[in-house]
Amino acid sequence: MLRPLFSSLLAIALALSSAAALAADATAPEVVNPVGQWDGYEMIIQADVPLRGTLRQVFIDRASAAEARRSGELPYGTKIVMRDYIGVSDGKGGWKTENNRLVPGQPTVVLVQQKERGWGTTHPPEVRIGEWEFGLYTPAGQPIKADFEKACMPCHKQVEATDYNFLVTNYFGDIAGK
C-alpha cells in the first residue's frame, strides 16, 4: 500500500524538478524574421522625425490586421514590425517629402514585437509584457543581440492598457469603433 503512494510521490517530485530545470534553462522564444517576406505585411503607420531626417514605418502581418479590424484587438500570432529609415536628402539641407511624408532612403534596422500564447514567461514579472517577445534585425535580416528586458520592456510595460504597444492597438481600436 505504501509502494503506490511512494511511486506517486516520486513521480510528482521528478515532474516538479524537471519543470524547475526547464524553467531555469528557459530562453525567450525567437520571433519571426520578416526581412524578405514583406508581401505578408501591410504598412499601417509612418512616423516621421524631420529634425533628424529619420522615419519609422510600422507594419503588421495581414492575417492579424484583418482580425484586428474586425475585433479591435490584436490576436495571438500578431507580428508588429517597425522598419527604421534615414530619409532621402533633398540636396538643400532638408529632406525629400511626398504627400507631406519623408521619403524613406536607406533602412537602418528592423524591430519585431510578436504575440504568441504562452510567451513572455522567461522574463521577470516586473518587466514581463504579457505574451509578447521582441526581435531585432539588420536590414539584411541578420539577428542583432539586444537586452530587450532593459531596452524595450520597461517602456512597453507602462502601456498594458493598450496590449503593451504604443500605437497599433489604438489604430485598430479606432477602426473597429472601440
Residue 33: φ, ψ to 5°? -100, 110
Residue type, 119: W
pLDDT by residue (tens digit) across 48-58?
Answer: 999 999 999 99
Distance (Å, rounded) from C-alpha 131 to C-alpha 27? 14
If one counts every other C-beta atom within 10 angstroms of the C-beta of residue 32, the result is 15
If one counts every other C-beta atom within 10 angstroms of the C-beta of residue 28, the result is 15
Distance (Å, rounded) from C-alpha 24 to C-alpha 132? 20
Least confident of 24-28, 29-33, 36-40, 105-109: 24-28
pLDDT band at 20 (very low <50, low <70, confident <90, very high): very low
Q: What is the pLDDT of residue 26?
A: 67
Long-range contacts of 126-130 (CB under 8 A, 24+ apart): 126/157, 127/153, 127/154, 127/157, 128/153, 128/157, 129/153, 129/156, 129/157, 129/160, 129/164, 130/160, 130/163, 130/164
pLDDT band at 174 (very low <50, low <70, confident <90, very high): confident
Report pTM: 0.81
17 versus 178: the higher-pLDDT residue is 178
Domains, the chain, with CATH or none:
30-176 (3.50.70.20)
Distance (Å, rounded) from C-alpha 120 to C-alpha 127? 10
Q: What is the pLDDT of residue 170?
A: 86
pLDDT by residue (tens digit) across 106-149?
Answer: 999 999 999 999 999 999 999 999 999 999 999 999 999 999 99
